Chains A and B, each alone.
Chain A
Amino acid sequence: MAMDTPPRWDRRMQQRLARGEAAALGEFYDRFAALVHSLAHRVLDDDDAADQVTREVFGYIWENPDSYDPKQGNMRSWVAKLTQRQAVHRLRQAETLAYAETGLGSAEELEQKVHRATVAARADYIVTSMPAPLRAALELAYFQRRDYRQTAADLGVTEDEARRRLRLGLQLLSSANTRPLEGSSPPGYGRTP
């Protein structure tokens, strides 16, 4: 969870990568590979393409660790941003190529497809980055079909609090439709989209 990542870890990791520590690269991969691969997969919907984006994103970071600016947000959001950019770039390439070859589709459809994929990836990122209590509430209510009273009981909180968490979680998630991921730290509590 991004919320558990102290900024110190980010800065330290950046220094170690810059220093050329292969062990740091392994640790960096272990922390972010699942995020990178799943976001790339969400955009491209293809395992091989997601593998390729994963390779490119880690390659880029290992070669350019200094391009991370801690002032712009945490390392996790930076990694997500790079991944999304690379995956969308690849999607655009693949779709343009397909269009050139088959003549099917239109520029408008391509943009719609890119937009949908971008929103979906952003939403995934927001879910994985939101505060754990909100995420837990959404998981209970949505995936396990618990109503808010049961959710409150499962989480050991009041019904008011369960309602609050569900609403806040969806508010954060809804920002995927409106806010660009560009430069974002994960949305915080109470942010107005």
Chain B
Amino acid sequence: MTGATGDGDEVARAPWIPGPRRAADDHADLTARLPEEAEEPDVDDPDVDDPDVDDPDLDDPDLEVPVLTHDVLKSLLGAWALSACSTGESRAVENHLTVCAPCADEALRLRDAVALLHEDRDLDLDPLLRSRVLENCLGRRPARIPVPDWVTPYDAETARLDALLRDIGESEWHAPVRLKWYEEDRVMRRKATVAAVIGHLLAVDGLVSTALGLDDPLGAGVPELSPTERTEALWSALDRPPNRSLRGPWRDQSHTLIRTVAFAGRGVADLTVTYKDFALPLRDSLLERAFECWLHADDIANAVAYPYAPPSGAHLHGMIDLAARLLPAALANRRRTGLASPARHLVAAGAPGRSLHLEIEGAGGGHWYIALDSPAAVGSADHAVAQVAMDGVEFCQLVAGHITPEEAAAGQDGDREAIRDVLAAAASLSRL
């Protein structure tokens, strides 16, 4: 213990130490009135004299000053310095300080320490700083075990979401989040919480973990389930409503995935990740996970009223490219179930076919040609029958099912049917 060293009874000629200032707050002016001033109330500006001040005058003759032992007085020094004890106790401490040098010494130090307390700055870390700092490091000393380029969107998006989660308070983990997606041409909605969304990401990222032979967050021996089924399984296995304790497992899993892939060598990019109803090579699967991570982070940010920017242009480009590559198969799928118009001109596999020109504007934008009649055909500028122009983030919102094909503000030109089918197919890529 500091300060009082047992000779507290020694009476020293300590100066009378005025009470500490009140905690950092605007209405400190009045309550922080120093005793000297209290003795001469006239020096106070009458304009700021507030009858509602509940702090009784320190010279109040009716003030009950408790009689306390030295040990108790000493133990009160911290609370006193923080203005966190009763007026009577404060007065008892201050009286004691005039007669006890060790306590007076400590009191001064603790009061000075209070002045060092400082509000944490929130969310000041620029999320783009991470890639700049890492790039600078790797320029100074190249990595011997690099993180493959195709993993960086997942690395960046999980880090951004984690930074957001670090900055939110306990109660915000239970803030309601409205999940929205598009299924069988209808908008689906589901109520969740911030923590439940992290559980969802943990459960679906687990598909990649199991593909890599890592532990499944759902436990061993779980049968093949769809992303939605996995999410339900994780949610229902929790014995309490999801809370912030899910952050650790989610973050550890994403770190382990990145690390494992970095060590695995080149061939791992083509490893198949099965989502029950479909499959993706690992390189696309991690891009898809990055996309989901961003959009759900955006859901969370909306729920807790934090700003959240889209991914960097390069990463956004990769996500748009993935969606564009998945569109022909999604179109074919809809055609099989009668939701899209029939194919018009079937061509030999690998030959250029009737196409839609998708022009994406803004950061991460570019030009894509979507084969309309068969996933086996090759999209071609020469065979374009329609054009759609959209902003990149808007296109991603469509792919995520956050906006409907009708809501998508797209510049359109050419074959109406083709445009309607492609926009609907884009929305059909979405799920929980």
Contact = CB atoms under 8 A, between A and B. Distances in A.
A162 B132 CA distance: 44
A160 B106 CA distance: 18
B383 to A, nearest CB: 42
Q: Which 5 A-B pairs have the closest CB atoms?
A: A167-B78, A20-B144, A166-B78, A123-B116, A22-B143
Interface string A160-193: 1011111111110110110000000000001011
Contacts of A42: 118
A63 B141 contact: yes
A62 B137 contact: yes
B303 interface: no
Interface in B23-66: 23-25
23 contacts: A20-B141, A20-B145, A22-B143, A25-B143, A29-B159, A34-B166, A38-B120, A38-B121, A58-B133, A62-B141, A123-B117, A127-B118, A143-B117, A146-B84, A148-B79, A163-B75, A163-B79, A167-B75, A170-B78, A170-B81, A171-B2, A173-B116, A193-B109
Given A163-B78, A170-B78, A41 B109 contact: no
Nearest to B156: A26
Interface in B79-108: 79, 81-82, 84-86, 106
**Which among A62, A145, A162, A170 has the highest number of chain B CB atoms within 10 Å?**
A170
A109 interface: no
B239 interface: no
Interface of A: 19-27, 29-30, 33-34, 37-38, 41-42, 47, 51, 54-55, 58-59, 62-63, 119-120, 123-124, 127, 138, 141-143, 145-148, 151, 160, 162-171, 173-174, 176-177, 190, 192-193
Given A23-B258, A37-B124, A170-B114, A141 B79 contact: yes
Contacts, number: 182
Contacts of A165: 78
Given A22-B145, A33-B129, A54-B133, A27 B255 contact: yes
A24 B112 CA distance: 40
B417 interface: no
B237 interface: no
Contacts of B23: 141-143, 145
A173 B113 CA distance: 6
B125 interface: yes
Nearest to A160: B75
Nearest to A50: B124
B84 A123 contact: no
A62 B22 CA distance: 44
Interface residues of B, number: 58
Contact of B125 (A34, A127, A162, A173): A34
A167 B76 CA distance: 7
A25 B163 CA distance: 16
A25 B75 contact: no
Contacts of B110: 167, 170-171, 174
Given A59-B140, A119-B116, A148 B85 contact: yes
A54 B155 CA distance: 19
Contacts of A145: 22-23, 25
B78 to A, nearest CB: 3
Contacts of B361: none
A154 to B, nearest CB: 12
Given A62-B140, A63-B141, A120-B118, A23 B259 contact: yes
Contacts of B143: 20-22, 25
A51 B259 contact: no
